[in-house]
Amino acid sequence: MVRLFAAVLLLAAAVPILAQGSSSSFIVQYKPDELNQVRSQLQQQGYSIMREYTDFNSLVVSGGNIAAAATASVGSSSSTPATDAVAAEINAQLAAMRGVGHVEAGGMRALFPQPATGMIIAPPSIAPPADSSDSNSTAEEAVCSESDGKLGPDADLGRRGEGIPYGVKLVQADDPAMVEVAKKFRSKVLFCVIDTGLDRTNKEFNNATTSGCMPGFPDGDTSQPFRYCYTWYEDANRHGTHTSGTIGALRNGRGVVGVSSEGAQLYHYNYFGPNMAASDDLEVAAWQECIAELDRRKLATSTPDIKLVISMSYGSTSVTDFSKAAIAALAKARNDVLWIAAAGNGGDNTINYPAGYDEVISIGAVDWNSKPATFSTFNADVELAAPGVQTLSTIPVAMTNASGYAALPFSRDILTLDTPLAALANDTNFFNKPKVARVDGSPAGTASGRLVDCGLGAEKCEADGAICLLQRGETTFCEKLLNCAAGGGIGAIIFNRDDLPECERLAGVSVDICDAAPEQGWTPAISISQKQGRALREALAAGEAVSATIRVTEVSQANEYSLDLLSGTSMATPTASGVAGLVWSAHTQCTAAEIRAALRKTAVKPANTTADRDQKYGFGIVQALAAHKYLESNPCTASGLKVTLQHSVASASTAAAPTVGGRVTVSVTVQDKATGRAAIGQRVLLNVEPSRKAVACKSYSLTTNKKGMAATSCQLLASGNNRITAKAVGGSSAATVANSSIVIRTKAQDS
């Protein structure tokens, strides 16, 4: 349980002297029964208690007299105290307090950035000719087509009808048997997506089955745990909407479908809000809220065997003893919860968390050819892989016009020349082979003017009233476009490097990541292949007067199912999560560990690989149908339930024993045999032997509450020996029966 101290709501910000580090908070673990004493000492030393995790005897604090003094000294001294030294002093002060068992600095979690364009698809193993225009070269000129394969098979989906993303196919979620599973068992699994927000106006989501965490006290009840999430249905980034769509985009005849497309139960936890990072202790609060929502649904629907898959497309190298212990405790207590997280996009062997925790399945990314993505983090923790390269999924409707995908339907005529190039007089379709891509984030509109060769765009280009021709290389795309605008350019065309395939389209260029923008705003910008760009450059070098028109058409906001292509292990993770939940929904007698084992056993390895486990793809690419069939042939054995039944004479009765005319309260407790955890929402049927004519209960069908308990009142109508039985039914566990005998006396006998 997470508690909030009201005073924290009035705090301005973290202490500046510590804000230079990764986090300005400290996690204080107190000894049992020492909470009040620790609170008192913290307040005396000027600390603010930000969060209290009562389930783990821990407080998250910030500020303090030491930090305040260090900050004040900055104003009176020319030297700035070392952040590490201040943090060490604070740590020592906290650790010395009576009742404190352990102290550590808090860390941060962040969204993984989108992979760099060059990392999305691996470069060719054999470099192309250094100068294919050399008269002595014997290499054949490349023949380009409209589709260069750079954007992958999803690039043309969802335009004229509903499409099935390649990732859904690659993991077998489109198989008719799995579609039937998604329909039949959709109420048996809850997907909790911890990410940015989700745009519920995108019609690919069913509002009846999609909900999420709202910040603050539930319904204003301050006795309940405070929720630290941001508003779930506000997505300022598109990341969260994309990951949720990968899991559950509806089969509705338009756009695309998700892995579980028949009305998946989605609960969205907006962890990041408008930011790219958040305190790592808050992920524990997110896990607890996801689990609390699972229990609420079990209770509300009387479905005790609902399972929970937590999908996390974020991470960092920060690891705290607090989070490590928390997830270990939660996973041990909850065999109905499975955690899945992204390995990372660094293309190195960094271990990121939460993917690095033992209790979490770490996911790597592969492309549509089942090849590991070059950006995908690789290490011994990577357990499984899923499609994560140029995957098509949902984005906020408001971001439709800023997406590169949105321009693709109009890209056949996005670039035209007023006069054909002399060398291309017989090829009127040259600039549609491959089709031109819009630079993400650049505005729609039309730019017409002469073309100016600005080279690599490393410095200001004199292009007043003209369109800049720029080549990739040496400097960033942002700097190239800024230098074009600084020289008066009204539009920009960027083409690919000489060392890349001639026909490869330059895709994935975006101004959304730029730190600065031109004062007058961005101008229409597009990207083309090396061959197309070289033709323009050669024409200008030959003295041709080249005039061009860039025409980027706005996408109608009537498009209520906006889509975009994104890459990353962040995209692979919800695909794997969708598969795990889809399989688990049909086999709810299985524990989380058994589902994890089935996914590992049935994963398929990329072509030409023989290793049992590889650092790039783990045990292989998840396979929904294979895992489902495996569990049909090798079913899990439910751990069973422990049912306890007892009765007591109703408090209104003054008799010492049950007597005719009196009442008894029948109480039932149901627990999971394996973990001792309360069976929430478990249906229990009561029966009276030999006859209900002797004992008449108010209800014979009970549902357990969040403590696994249920009770009813029964009237005693006739004397004799009776037995009440309680039978747990429904769910995935075998029926379990408990008995309680009642000897009913007459009033005369009792006297």
pLDDT in tens, 415-433: 888 878 887 766 777 887 7
The better pLDDT of the pair 445, 482 is held by 482
Separation CA 688–CA 716 (nearest Å): 11
Looking at residue 154, its pLDDT comes to 87
Looking at residue 732, its pLDDT comes to 62
Looking at residue 582, its pLDDT comes to 98
Residue count of the chain: 751
Per-residue pLDDT tens digits for 602-629: 999 887 777 789 999 999 999 999 999 9
Looking at residue 422, its pLDDT comes to 82
Query: For residues 336-351, b (16+ Cβ closer than 10 Å) or e, as one string?
Result: bbbbbbbbbbbeeeeb
Cα torsion angle, 436, 442, 443, 446, sign: negative
Cα–Cα separations (whole angstroms), residue 347 to 367, 490, 498: 14, 37, 24
| Least confident range of 212-226, 549-563, 633-647 | 549-563
| Average pLDDT of the segment spanning 66-92 | 73
% of the chain residues with pLDDT over 70 = 85
Cβ contacts of 232 within 8 Å, gap of 6 or more: 197, 198, 211, 212, 213, 214, 268, 269, 270
Question: Hunting for tokens 């249920």 — which residue is that?
Answer: 710
Question: Hunting for tokens 């992204």 — which residue is that?
Answer: 342
Residue 96 tokens read as 């010395």
- Which amino acid type is present at position 282? L
Closest CA to 507 of 429, 409, 406, 438: 438
The better pLDDT of the pair 609, 262 is held by 262
The better pLDDT of the pair 527, 341 is held by 341
Beta bridge partners of 385: 364, 621
Q: Estimate the share of the chain in helix, then strand, then coil, as percent rounded to the nearest 5.
A: 25, 25, 45
pLDDT band at 18 (very low <50, low <70, confident <90, very high): very low
The better pLDDT of the pair 409, 521 is held by 521
Looking at residue 650, its pLDDT comes to 65
Q: Interhelix angle for 239-248 vs 569-585, to 10°?
A: 30
Looking at residue 55, the DSSP 8-state letter turns out to be G
Looking at residue 130, its pLDDT comes to 31
Looking at residue 145, its pLDDT comes to 62
Separation CA 129–CA 588 (nearest Å): 57
pLDDT band at 131 (very low <50, low <70, confident <90, very high): very low
Closest CA to 363 of 631, 578, 583: 578
pLDDT band at 7 (very low <50, low <70, confident <90, very high): very low
Separation CA 173–CA 623 (nearest Å): 8
| Average pLDDT of the segment spanning 302-330 | 96
Question: SS3 of 516, please?
Answer: coil
Residue 56 has pLDDT above 60, yes or no: yes
Note every long-range contact of 163-167, with CB atoms under 8 Å and residues 24 or more positions apart, other chains counting: 163/255, 163/256, 163/257, 163/392, 164/256, 164/257, 165/246, 165/256, 165/257, 165/387, 165/391, 165/392, 165/393, 166/368, 166/387, 166/391, 167/246, 167/259, 167/386, 167/387, 167/388, 167/391, 167/571, 167/575
The better pLDDT of the pair 20, 55 is held by 55
| Average pLDDT of the segment spanning 454-468 | 95
pLDDT band at 77 (very low <50, low <70, confident <90, very high): very low
Looking at residue 147, its pLDDT comes to 54
pLDDT band at 322 (very low <50, low <70, confident <90, very high): very high
Looking at residue 435, its pLDDT comes to 73
Residue 466 has pLDDT above 50, yes or no: yes
| Average pLDDT of the segment spanning 185-196 | 97
Query: For residues 508-543, b (16+ Cβ closer than 10 Å) or e, as one string?
Result: bbbbeebeeebeeebbbbbbbbbbbbbbbbebbeee
Tell whether omega for the bond before 218 is within 30 degrees of 0, i.e. cis.
Answer: no
By DSSP bridging, strand 210-212 and strand 265-270 are parallel
Cβ contacts of 209 within 8 Å, gap of 6 or more: 186, 248, 263, 264, 265, 266
Residue 557 has pLDDT above 80, yes or no: no
pLDDT band at 317 (very low <50, low <70, confident <90, very high): very high
Residue 199 has pLDDT above 90, yes or no: yes
Residue 404 tokens read as 């590169």
What's the CA dihedral at 208, 214, 218, 223 to 10 degrees? 150
Looking at residue 407, its pLDDT comes to 53
pLDDT band at 42 (very low <50, low <70, confident <90, very high): very high
Residue 299 has pLDDT above 80, yes or no: yes
Looking at residue 275, its pLDDT comes to 86
Provide the mean pLDDT of the chain. Answer: 85
The better pLDDT of the pair 112, 16 is held by 112
Q: Are 114 and 46 in contact (CB under 8 A)?
A: no
Question: SS3 of 564, please?
Answer: strand
**Phi, psi torsion values for 12, nearest 5 degrees:** -80, -70
Q: Cα Rg for the chain, rounded, in angstroms?
A: 31
Separation CA 98–CA 41 (nearest Å): 8
% of the chain residues with pLDDT over 90 = 58
Beta bridge partners of 474: none
Looking at residue 556, its pLDDT comes to 53
| Average pLDDT of the segment spanning 302-326 | 95
Cβ contacts of 82 within 8 Å, gap of 6 or more: none
Residue 5 has pLDDT above 80, yes or no: no
Looking at residue 81, its pLDDT comes to 47
Looking at residue 78, its pLDDT comes to 42
Separation CA 472–CA 468 (nearest Å): 13
Residue 326 has pLDDT above 90, yes or no: yes
Residue 455 has pLDDT above 80, yes or no: yes
- Which amino acid type is present at position 444? A
Secondary structure element (H or E) that encloses residue 310, with its range: strand 307-312
Looking at residue 416, its pLDDT comes to 84
pLDDT band at 23 (very low <50, low <70, confident <90, very high): low
| Average pLDDT of the segment spanning 692-713 | 92
